[in-house]
Structure 1
């Protein structure tokens, strides 16, 4: 019997999910909901590029959520963050979903985190795709840092999408240290927000500071001027590491190297889906874990947005 997958959103990221699904060994019946015909065409081409047509999986396309679908094994929500709470609530009322995979940023309104949690409460599990936890390189680095906490981490770079991508690093440090996020400071962010590459969404530069329950601190810096995208880590023992995620190098205090690579979503999807179908779990953070971090981040960014952009706004326009 084929296991059922519902994927909402076939944009850039959704297309990579679908490429990964093509390599899953278990026979699948996949339904993709995507209102853009152009996005459908691009994603279908990428599916065929990896041999999806010969995979033995069933693939169906719809513009809207189909009425005949009453239950699925896994729902993948790969849409933008806007109105995601409403979307997941609508799906959960129509379709019985066993497991959920949600993209970050989860939502734009802090209150919508509660909407999400309630919407998926009848399912067997829900996880959020901050995928460094799944990558062998970061797993090896975790072994270096988790016994030497607290740590101080500086992530620096040029216009790397601080607002929309910070949750990746906030989650990474929580996972590495076993600590929970306690507070976020926004005083060192620049006052001016600017439109991102995606129309209707915004970004910001400056420095965001995250504090954790065990004393670890994360400094996230995004600049307009040229800056290498590197991470510097100082442990409680005084040891220092420099991680170049683009080059795939991590240099330790004695010159030791831990080389690795950032995996693509198309590479991570098949093991992730296989783990969920076989064991009912995976290495990603649960919705409960991620929502705690998202809540603190969204409240901090919304307060900053209200102060400098629109005092009456109830959402922060990031994705």
Structure 2
């Protein structure tokens, strides 16, 4: 019993001595040449960091201010931007708008109380293409002309959709009730013209004229020329031909006058040179030429007249 108690006391002493030794080692003074390492950013690096943080803050403030200014100037809203409004039916533009690049739309129409105006400094061109992207039609409105390139061009009436004007490679059709030409020189046709009726305006003269060539009017069932309230005049520089292949030429008038006919010579022993001739006879040469001959008791027409011989 005493021996075990002595062993426990000795163990406690050894443990206490080890604790004291360990404690004394921790409390030993440090060497004088020990080095210290500071933790953090100091000096010019710290100043540069603060400068970059300040610059980033200024940039963010300027960017935010510019964004707010752009939103204010462009009038950005939940419905659109500026004059542009996005609706259920499409896009609506108010005021004057400029397009710098091609515009692809399905339909363009104006408001009910205002017209639609397309304006350009050079020209306005509208193209139509097929599903393969090939050009099928083009309308160009320029400063000097309006050009349309298509297979068929039509102008229709607004009330009933009747074709007023159509043009293609084969023909040009005018479906209006009246074709009115207001130019001082009239209408010029390079080739033949087919029409059932040519009429001038009321109180105006109708003139069919060919200044350098001939004027031919022909129809399979006849040509009718009438002047109800005026006179009919046909003049030419050389010959005027009235020809009927199967019928006759009928002149029906109260007075038929043939002016500027030449006068043939006729001598008779019974005629007096001092008597003034007032009555003439109309004669026809074998070649069909007409001339006047002084009337006498009998016929004074002679086939050997100087008019017939020298004509």
Same fold (TM over 0.5): no
Name which one, 1 or 2, has greater alpha-carbon Rg.
2
The structure, 1 or 2, with the larger RCO (C-alpha pairs under 8 Å, 6+ apart) is: 1
TM-score, scaled relative to structure 1: 0.18
TM-score, scaled relative to structure 2: 0.18
Higher helix proportion (structure 1 or 2) = 1
Higher strand proportion (structure 1 or 2) = 1
